[in-house]
Amino acid sequence: MLGEHSDAFVRDLSSRRLRHNSPMAAENSFDIVNKVDRQEVENAFNMAVKEVRNRFDFKGTDASIKQSGEAFEIEANGEERAKAVLDVFQTMLVRRKVDLKSLDAGQPRLSGKLWKITATLDHGISSENAKKIAKLIRDEGPKGIRTQIQGDELRVFSKKRDDLQVVQSLVKGADYDFAVQFTNYR
């Protein structure tokens, strides 16, 4: 009876060893995303509010920047002043290392006596943009690369890590009109 259990144990151990030493290479992957760090945006917003409040050239212009949900409302009594407030906000975003391609600022519009600009932050990669990136990778990337659209992200697979680094360089060099970051490198 003891012999039966020990034989089963040896067979189980040898099958585990075979599975562990299998010659198949594991696939590596990473995600291409468009995400902004909310805390950094909040810090940039607070810095812009303080800058607008304290700058001499904004005194008496009713210049302000407010946050309402996902949008940022910029107001001033002149179109150029409203654009200047937007420029201050963009400068603060750059200082906090937030990609300006994620910021979608509308055109200045007159509302009563004040000029207003509404700016929003883009999140995620649209399916159209994911298809553009996948096509670029398929056409110009190394062979053996696979892509898969997963919601608002694009996952890239390869057996070779070097190929994934080539794809990252390729996507960075493409200079799209939307921001991209690389996450979950495995």
Backbone angles phi, psi at 27, to 5 degrees: -85, 140
172 to 36, 50, 88: CA distances (angstroms): 17, 34, 27
Biggest CA–CA distance in the chain, Å, is 95
Give the separation between CA 156 and CA 28, rounded to whole angstroms. 8
* Per-residue model confidence as pLDDT tens digits over 38-57: 999 999 999 999 999 999 98
* Per-residue model confidence as pLDDT tens digits over 96-121: 999 999 999 999 999 889 999 999 99
Evaluate if pTM is beyond 0.85: no
* Per-residue model confidence as pLDDT tens digits over 121-147: 988 888 899 999 999 999 998 888 999
